[in-house]
């Protein structure tokens, strides 16, 4: 079993999809050993508790700068034996040190087809741009924001009547299917990374 830490700041629906897959798919190959949040009010804490998973709260304010915050997060993950960090709506940028400690071992999910619409408000950015298609990207994290090697993408059409809310809802449906699939592939050693290219074996 690949021990993973899930880092989440918000509602934690992607965390829930991972919890559900780990529980229902005997071949999943990964175990969530800890859920870490930077927000004490994150719903991720309740979801983890319901599933009997350990939790840690590491706030930015108690550490005061990105380097110390990142170190505390990585230490917490390692203390629980995690070998991989899975960012699931984690709203803080990690210092490059995290990538050094977990090279090609940090995953992120982003609600657009990168490299279009990186950063915050990706769903609003796509709508405001008048794009016809957006989607979901799962990628390894490198030193730059929303930039590392792309593992999987799923397009989502933008409809004329879409609001940011309705579009995000359809994007999330794809996220909840795609993220567990990628974590499973990683756990089962199916992902081969060469430079920016990720090959599924």
What residues act catalytically? 110
Piece of the chain touching ligand GRF by CB under 6 A; list 104-112, 127-135, 139-147, 148-156: 104-112
Q: Which two tokens stand for residue 34?
A: 């800890």
What is the Cα–Cα distance from 76 to 63, expressed in whole angstroms? 13
- Residue 39: strand pairing partners: none
What is the Cα–Cα distance from 36 to 38, expressed in whole angstroms? 7
Least Cα distance to 5 among 106, 94, 124 occurs for: 106
Minimum separation from the CB atom of position 145 to ligand GRF (A): 12
For residue 137, is it left (φ>0), alpha (ψ between -120 and 50) or beta? beta
Residues in contact with ligand GRF, shown as a per-residue x/- string from 58 to 97 under the rule CB under 6 A: ------------------------------xx--------
Piece of the chain touching ligand GRF by CB under 6 A; list 54-62, 96-104, 108-116, 124-132: 108-116
What is the Cα–Cα distance from 117 to 13, expressed in whole angstroms? 21
Q: Closer to ligand GRF at the Cβ: 10 or 29?
A: 10
Q: Which two tokens stand for residue 187?
A: 């756990």
Residue 3 near ligand GRF by CB under 6 A: no
What is the Cα–Cα distance from 15 to 82, expressed in whole angstroms? 15
Residue 101 near ligand GRF by CB under 6 A: no
Residue 111 near ligand GRF by CB under 6 A: yes
Restricted to residues 21-40, the positions that interact with ligand GRF (CB under 6 A) are none
Return phi, psi of residue 180, to 5°. Answer: -60, -35
How big is the site for ligand GRF, counted in residues (CB under 6 A)? 13
Restricted to residues 153-182, the positions that interact with ligand GRF (CB under 6 A) are 172, 175
CA distances from 156 to 18, 86, 148 (A): 21, 23, 21
Minimum separation from the CB atom of position 194 to ligand GRF (A): 26
The footprint of ligand GRF (CB under 6 A) covers 8, 10-14, 88-89, 109-111, 172, 175
């Amino acid at each position: 079993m690949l021990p993973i830490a899930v880092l989440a700041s918000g509602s934690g629906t992607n965390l829930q999809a991972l919890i559900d897959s780990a529980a229902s798919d005997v071949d999943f190959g990964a175990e969530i050993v800890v859920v870490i949040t930077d927000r004490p009010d994150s719903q991720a804490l309740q979801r983890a508790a319901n599933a009997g998973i350990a939790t840690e709260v590491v706030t930015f304010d108690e550490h005061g700068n990105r380097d110390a915050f990142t170190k505390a997060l990585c230490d917490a993950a390692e203390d629980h034996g995690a070998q991989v960090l899975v960012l699931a709506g984690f709203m803080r940028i990690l210092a490059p040190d995290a990538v050094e400690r977990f090279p090609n071992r940090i995953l992120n999910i982003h609600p657009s087809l990168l490299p279009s619409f990186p950063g915050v408000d990706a769903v609003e950015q796509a709508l405001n741009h008048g794009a016809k298609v957006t989607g979901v990207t799962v990628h390894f994290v490198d030193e730059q924001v929303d930039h590392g090697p792309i593992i999987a993408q799923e397009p989502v059409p933008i409809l004329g009547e879409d609001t940011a809310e309705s579009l995000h809802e359809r994007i999330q449906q794809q996220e909840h299917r795609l993220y567990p699939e990628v974590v499973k592939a990683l756990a089962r050693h199916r992902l081969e990374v060469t430079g920016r290219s990720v090959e599924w074996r």
